[in-house]
Amino acid sequence: MGGDRGPHVFFDAINKLIKNDPSINVIICCDEPTSIEAKNTVSNYNANVRFEICEQVVEMTDKPAMAIRQKKQSSMRRALDLTQQKKADACVSAGNTGALMAMAYYVLKTIVGVSRPALCSLLPTEQGGKVLLLDLGASISYDAENLLQYAVMGSVLMQESEGVSQPKIALLNVGEEDIKGNSLVKHADSLIKQCENLNYIGYVEGDDIFTGKSDVIVTDGFTGNVALKASEGIAKFIMNELKNLNKETFIARLLSKLSLPILKSLYQRMNPDQYNGASLLGLRSTVVKSHGNASTDACYYALNLAVNEARQAVPDKIKLKIEQELMEH
């Protein structure tokens, strides 16, 4: 029910998801009018879709604490309750990010050994692969143990969702030298080095995020959020500049037509839709946050991400890995 474009963008995404895999069942948590609209769109898949009618909606302006206390009958809360009750294997929402994180933490609880969940997302790399960046702002207060936990969780996710056998883990820092960085980063570095089962490669800088040097990049939520938003801004800037240049002169327009296949290929690699869906790692069940302004294709990617994480039992494997690493310490 949240999101900038409204719930209808998810309907076609659900159709595509079920068409590609009829074994998937979807529970749509929404109000009565939205359920009527949805039934007109997903009517061909009634066997795979059911509705939970909810009296309340978490608005984009709602404060997280207020949403927990006063929106117990909301669509967001119902989706999380169904997940907590094991009536659903995963929850996907495009609504209020702060409310979703707080409500998921309250309803689902964290895995034993995980102090707080991390918001993470996959990004493209130069070699055509992907890198996992976390945390992206689930919290702004951290200690070194949190970053150690994020390293473990990120490693498990890349193994299970992307099939990377020994994910290379790095800490985001202002330099690669051991003397660089604040006390938080240095302490986290020393803790992660003690985990022999992690493929830790040390520090990377901001310009290494997209090089493919590492598979998992760990940082605090404030830094991670700034890095992600700056990267998104630069991608939009480049694409807009290319469009503007193509309009300026006859020669530019001619060259743009000649270079169109290259530009299309570049756009497909940079297209944020295929990277939509930020996983909330560290919870006892799978929760995926879709971008609020996501298109239907982007919503499909977020739904598919949740399906894959649920099928791979990522929370259970994170729990096992956390227990192993804590036992060694």
For the ranges 231-240, 287-296, 303-312, the maximum mean pLDDT occurs at 303-312
Q: Where in the chain is the domain with CATH 3.40.718.10?
A: 8-115+274-312, 124-230+268-272+318-328
Instruction: Tell me which H or E stretch contains 200.
Output: strand 199-204
Task: Specify the pLDDT at position 47.
Answer: 82
Domain 124-230+268-272+318-328 has CATH 3.90.105.10: no
pLDDT band at 271 (very low <50, low <70, confident <90, very high): low
- CA separation for the pair 322, 329 (Å, rounded): 11
* CATH classification code of 8-115+274-312: 3.40.718.10
3-class state of residue 273 by DSSP: helix
- Cα dist from 94 to 6, 91, 205, 294, 299, whole Å: 9, 10, 31, 8, 8
Half-sphere exposure of 111 (CA within 13 A, CB side): 27
Q: How far apart are CA 281 and CA 123, in angstroms?
A: 16
pLDDT above 90 (res 169): yes
Name, in order, each residue with C-beta under 8 angstroms of 52's C-beta and a sequence gap of 6 or more.
27, 28, 29, 30, 75, 78, 79, 82
pTM, two decimal places: 0.85
